[in-house]
DNA sequence: TCCTTAGTTTGATCTGCGTCGTACCGTTCG
DNA sequence: CGAACGGTACGACGCAGATCAAACTAAGGA
């Protein structure tokens, strides 16, 4: 058992997805899982982002994203691995995740940076 | 005078847009302005949607959408007309508004309805 | 078997924001 | 001019949700 439930992609509504993405921490999470590409441990993926939150808060956000149909969770021994449902989400909401990819973490400065220092 | 300020489309960030669209009333507003197509009076556009809010609340939502770069406001005599910045927004966030168009008002029921009673 | 580790659940707290009422501002018309 | 109308600005209120700490569950390893 211990299989983690998730909604079928056809039942996912745009309202729920937008609400899920409206939180800065969850937006960071989605980008991080996207960057990771493969199954990743949720508590590791925020390491480089500078976001520091309690583990129960992280668990809460993971659940919100999963219920919104954006990520998938798999049980692997003692830990849980997470991956972005990229293809499914893109199939249902074309351009959404691509958008997040291209418009990276909101930089306060300009739009056309010379490089990434 | 009385020209209404709005952000240049290049300065609009995805974070702000997502936050703006995360509210059900504002989502309804955007869909209604999209359906209207042309310059429309803000206080008229909700008439058919069943959404009933005070005029100060409407003014607040209009401002949030305008600050997010999604709509544009023009002064016309005694009233203010609003229009969706469709092309600009689609140019900057391809697929976003198309998404809202195709995934209409969240119906609680199934995905493939026989008709619209 | 017991301890450690990873994660969820629960309960409590607190801040953000959607809402409203009222006052205020600008435009039109009598 | 002054009244009526459309809309904004300003406080105030209340609720949803983000956060944390602590208790609980489950899997591995000594």
Q: Note the pLDDT tens digit of each residue in A36-45.
A: 999 999 999 9
- Nucleic strand D under 7 Å from the C-beta of B73: yes
Query: Residue B113: its pLDDT value, please?
Result: 45
* Nearest-angstrom CA–CA distance, A84 and A102: 16
Within 10 Å of residue B36's Cβ, how many Cβ atoms? 15
> Which chain B residues have a beta carbon less than 8 Å from that of A103?
13-14, 93
Burial of B42 (0-12, 13-18, 19+ CB in 10 A): buried
Distance A57 CA to C11 C1' (A): 14
Mean pLDDT of chain A: 90
Q: In this complex, do A22 and B18 lie within 8 Å of one another by their Cβ atoms?
A: yes
Within 10 A of A2 (CB to CB), how many other CB atoms are there? Answer: 6
Q: Within chain A, what is the greatest distance between any pair of CA atoms?
A: 51
| pTM given for the model | 0.90
- CB pairs below 8 Å between A and B: how many? 56
Interatomic CA–C1' length for residue A115 and nucleotide D15, angstroms: 44
User: A23 to chain B: nearest residue by CA?
Assistant: B19
State, as a whole number of angstroms, the distance between the CA of A6 and the C1' of C4: 30
Chain segment B47-69, per-residue pLDDT in tens: 989 999 999 999 999 999 999 99
């Amino acid at each position: 058992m211990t299989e983690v439930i998730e909604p079928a992609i056809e039942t996912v509504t745009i309202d729920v997805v937008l609400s899920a993405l409206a939180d800065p921490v969850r937006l960071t999470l989605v980008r991080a899982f996207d960057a990771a590409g493969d199954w990743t441990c949720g508590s590791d993926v925020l390491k480089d982002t500078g976001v520091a939150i309690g583990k129960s808060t992280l668990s809460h956000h993971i659940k919100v994203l999963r219920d919104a149909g954006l990520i998938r969770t798999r049980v692997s021994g003692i830990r849980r691995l997470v991956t972005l449902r990229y293809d499914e989400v893109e199939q249902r909401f074309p351009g959404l995740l691509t958008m997040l990819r291209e418009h990276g973490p909101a930089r306060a400065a300009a739009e056309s940076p010379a490089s990434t220092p």
